[in-house]
Amino acid sequence: MARTRTNSLRYIADQLPSERGAVIVELALVLPFLLVLFAGIINMGLLLREHELVQNAAREGARLSILPQNQVAPFNPSASVSTIKQRVVDYLAQSNITITTAQVSVNQAVPITVGSITEYGSQVTVSYTRSLLIPATGYLPFGSVTMTGTAVFRNLY
């Protein structure tokens, strides 16, 4: 019986070692990296969401601060900075972000120059520190992230 090309290829293929377990080994090697990558993507998405909320809270506080009834001055004893700060804290509490009024600063005398005219505005700054999603990040150079949101609006008074 003459050996054909097809038969000789089968003979060579039968002599090679089987690779049936190689796929499982490769999966075991790659899976931890894929899981860390997936957790990092989720963590980054949560950080971006919370940074947007912190920035929106600063805007909310600045909008409240620019109103004439909230001008902190001797002729307006009912207005207080603590009311503005509490509005920011309440805004973030709606999204399950807990901060204190000490993490909010309000300045109602920020100069804003437009051309040759100087107006005054209110600046609200919110600072929020959040730990990362993966608690075993002690091996990485970061363990928590501090987000800051700042908004400046021209006063209406």
94 in a domain, yes or no? Answer: yes
Q: Which of 138, 151, 136, 157 is nearest to 63 (CA)?
A: 151
Residue 56: both structure tokens together = 């929106």
User: Number of structural domains, the chain?
Assistant: 1
Residue 78 has pLDDT above 60, yes or no: yes
Determine the length of the chain: 157
Choice among 78-87, 101-110, 138-147 with the minimum mean pLDDT: 138-147
54 in a domain, yes or no? Answer: yes
1 in a domain, yes or no? Answer: no
8 in a domain, yes or no? Answer: no
Residue 142's pLDDT is what? Answer: 63
Show the domain range for 97.
Answer: 22-154
Confidence of residue 109 (pLDDT cuts 50, 70, 90): very high
10 in a domain, yes or no? Answer: no
CA distance 58 to 53: 9
2 in a domain, yes or no? Answer: no
Choice among 45-59, 71-85, 133-147 with the minimum mean pLDDT: 133-147
CB 104 within 8 A of CB 87: no
69 in a domain, yes or no? Answer: yes
Q: How many CB atoms lie within 10 A of CB 140?
A: 9
Residues 6 or more apart whose CB falls under 8 angstroms from that of 87 comprise 60, 61, 64
53 in a domain, yes or no? Answer: yes
Residue 123: both structure tokens together = 């600046």
Residue 139's pLDDT is what? Answer: 56
Residue-wise pLDDT for 1-16, tens only, equals 555 666 666 766 666 6
> How far lies 119's CA from each of 6, 80, 82, 109, in Å?
89, 21, 24, 9
Residue 73 has pLDDT above 90, yes or no: no
Collapsing DSSP states into helix, strand and coil, what is residue 58?
Answer: helix
